[in-house]
Amino acid sequence: MPGSSGQLLAVEGISMSFDGKWALRDVDLAIPEGTIHGLIGHNGSGKSTLVRILAGYHHQTGGTVRLGSDVLPAGSPAGRHGLGLRFVHQELGLVSQFTGLENFGLGGGYDRTRWRTIDWRRQRRRMREVMELLNCDLPTDEPVSSLSAVQRSLIAIARAIGAGTGPESARLLVLDEPTTTLEGPETEQLFRVVRNLAGSGIGVLYISHHLSDVIDLCSEVTVLRDGRVVEILRTEGATRSHLVSALLGPAAASAPEDVALATDDLLERPVHDRDVPAFAVTGLRSELLSGVDLEVFHGECVCVLGLTGSGREELAYAAAGAVASEADTIEVEGKEVARLDPSDCRELGIALVPGNRLPGSMVLDFSLRENLSFASLKENTKRLGLVDRKRETAITREWIERFDIKPDDPEFSSRHMSGGNKQKMILAKWLNIEPSVMIIDEPTAGVDVGAAKALLGTLRVIADGGAALLVSTSEIDDALAIADRIVILHEGRIRAELRRGVDELTEETVMLAMAERDEPQALGVPAAVGANADEPKGLQ
C-alpha cells in the first residue's frame, strides 16, 4: 500500500463491481504534488470506471481515495470541486455559442455584483489570473465556436482550474483524452500549459490513448489491464513498444496484417480493372479546400494527412459530396459523374465512413443491429418493402463473430458500446453495401491500441482485396501502417505526396512534409511552436 503521506492523490485498493463483474480490482494510484501522472489502458480496462469514481459518479465497492488528508466522500461531484479535484473531460462541455468568458463562469459559478447580476469585470479579472497561471493568452470575447481546437481545450482547462473558488484551491486536474481533436503543434501547446500547471504545484492525472504523448508529458505512468494495475513505470527511457506490450499483455507487438479481423470472405470480390482509377476527382473545392486532385485505384490505400485547418478534416466529406463542395471532374470507375451526394455514393458503391466520434457515424439510440444494417436496408427487404428482420439479425451475428464485436448481442444499445466496438460496427455497416470505394475519416480516433491495430489491419486487407481506400486521418502512425500513398494537405491544397517503395515513409519524412514552413503559427498561445525541436510532436 502506498502511504498517504506526501502524496497529493492516493487511491488505495479501489475495487468496483457491476452486477458481480469486476471492473476494477484492488487498484492503487499515487500522485505527488506537481507531477504529471499518466493512466493508460485498453477499452474495458477500467480506466473510465476509475475516472468516474474519482469524479464521484460511481461509488467504489471497496477501497478509499484520499486527496491530501481528505478522504473523498461518496457521490457528490460538486463536493470534489470544493476539495480541489478538477476534471476536463474529452467532451469539453463548452457552449459553442458562448464566449470564452461566458463559458469560464459556466458550471463553476459566475461572480455576482451586489445586485445579483453577473460581475463581468471581476469575472474577467479572474480569468486573466488563471491565464497568467497557465501562461497562455486566450480570447475571452469570441464565441468558442470560432476558436481553434486547442484554444477550446485551454478554455476548458482554465475553467476547471479557476472556476468557482479560484485557482488557489485547485490541487489535482484530471485530463481525460485531451488531445483527441488536436494535431501536431497544438498538442505541444497544450502540453506546455499542463507543464506550467504542474510547475505551480498542481498534480495532473493524464489519461490518453496516445502513448508517445504519455511518454513525452508524464513522469510516471500506470497501466491498467482488465481492471488491475499491471505496471507502474517511470517514463524516463521508456519506449512506446514497452508501453504497448504492457497494455496488451504478452503476445502483442505484431504487424497490422497479422491482427486483421477475419475478412477472408471479403477478399472474394470480382477482380477490378486496376489501371483505371476507381475514384478520381480534380479541382475539388470546399470551404477549406481550394483545388485538390486525387485518384485512388483498386487495391490501393491512399491516406490523407494535414494539420488542423489544412482542409484534411473536410476532405472525406467534400470528396463524397456530403458538404458543400465543387469539383471540375469526378470519375467513378472511369465514368464521369456530374455531381455526388451521399445518396448517389451509396448507389455507386462508394461508402463514406465517418469515425465513431464524428457526426453522422451512427445513431446512438439504435441497437447494434439497426446501426449495422442501416446502409444496406434496401438489400435486405422482403416483398412490400418489409425489412427482413431475420436476415438482419443473421447478418449482424455474422459481423459480430467476424469482427469480434462486444457485447455479442445484436439488440445491444449502440450508445453503451466502447469506441473500438463502435468503430467495428460502423465499418461493418458500410462493408455491407460491398463498396468498391471506401472514403474513411478518422478510422481510429477514440479507439484503443489493440482495436486500432485490428481495424487498420482490416483496412489493409480490404484494400488488398481490390477495394479503393481513401483514408483521411490525423494519426501519422495510422497512415504509415497502411498507406500505399500518403497525400499531405496544406492550406487546402496538396503539398506533397509520398509513395511507398519510392519515397521513404517514416514518421520523420511525413512530419517534415507536414510541418509549417512559411510562417509561425498564430494560434493564440505565444512562443509555443518550435520551442522544443527534439520533441516528436514539435514540428518545424
Partner 1 sequence: MSAEPMSTPKRSVWVRRIGPRNAGAVYVWILLIIVFSVVSPHLFFSGETVKEVLNQYSITGLIALALVLPLAAGVYDLSVGATAGISGIMAAWCLANVSTSPVLAVVVGLAAALGAGVINSIVVLGMGVDSFIGTLATSSIYTAIAVAVSGEQPISEHVNGAFSNNIALRNIGGVTIPVLYMVVILLVLAYVLERSVFGRHTYAIGFDPEVARLGGVRVRSAQAISLISCSLIAGVAGITEAAVLGAGSSESGPNYLLPGFAAAFLGATQFRHGRFNPWGAVVAVLLLGTGDVGLLTVGAPSWSPDVFEGVMLIAAVALTSAKGFGPLPRLRRRSKPLPTVEAPPPPEGRLDKEADESETSTGAGVQ
Which of positions 240-279 make contact with partner 1 (CB under 8 A)?
none
The neighbouring-strand residues paired with 436 are none
Per CB under 8 A, 146 contacts partner 1:
no
Q: Which of residues 31-90 bind partner 1 (CB under 8 A)?
A: 41, 43-49, 52, 55-58, 77-78, 80-81, 85-90
User: Residue 45 CB, nearest distance to partner 1 (Å)?
Assistant: 7
Which cell numbers hold the place of 227? 481492471
User: Residue 79 CB, nearest distance to partner 1 (Å)?
Assistant: 10
Per CB under 8 A, 393 contacts partner 1:
no
Q: Which of residues 455-474 bind partner 1 (CB under 8 A)?
A: none
Considering only CA atoms, give the Rg of the chain.
Answer: 24
Nearest Cα neighbor of 472 from 320, 266, 282 is 320
Strands 485-490 and 493-499: antiparallel
Give every CB contact of residue 235 below 8 A, 6+ residues apart in sequence: 38, 214, 215, 218, 219, 220, 221
Q: Which of residues 10-29 bind partner 1 (CB under 8 A)?
A: 18-19, 21, 23
Nearest Cα neighbor of 90 from 171, 18, 149 is 149
> Using CB under 8 A, which of the segments 30-38, 100-108, 213-221, 475-483 binds partner 1?
100-108
Per CB under 8 A, 159 contacts partner 1:
yes
Measured CA to CA, the distance from residue 108 to residue 111 in angstroms comes to 10
Residue 32, amino acid: P
| 3-class secondary-structure state, position 429 | helix
Per CB under 8 A, 436 contacts partner 1:
no
ω into residue 407 within 30 of 0, thus cis?
yes
Per CB under 8 A, 290 contacts partner 1:
no
Per CB under 8 A, 96 contacts partner 1:
yes
Tell which one of 25, 346, 460, 485 touches partner 1 (CB under 8 A).
346
418 backbone φψ class: left, alpha, beta (φ>0; ψ -120 to 50): beta
> Using CB under 8 A, which of the segments 292-300, 302-310, 339-347, 528-536 binds partner 1?
339-347
Q: Which is nearer to partner 1, 143 or 530 (CB)?
A: 143
Tell which one of 1, 251, 386, 522 touches partner 1 (CB under 8 A).
386
Q: Which of residues 409-428 bind partner 1 (CB under 8 A)?
A: 409, 411-413, 415-419, 421
User: Residue 530 CB, nearest distance to partner 1 (Å)?
Assistant: 28
Per CB under 8 A, 326 contacts partner 1:
no
Quote the DSSP letter at residue 531: S
Q: Which is nearer to partner 1, 451 or 539 (CB)?
A: 451
Cα dist. 147→129, 142, 309 in Å? 20, 8, 12
Per CB under 8 A, 360 contacts partner 1:
yes
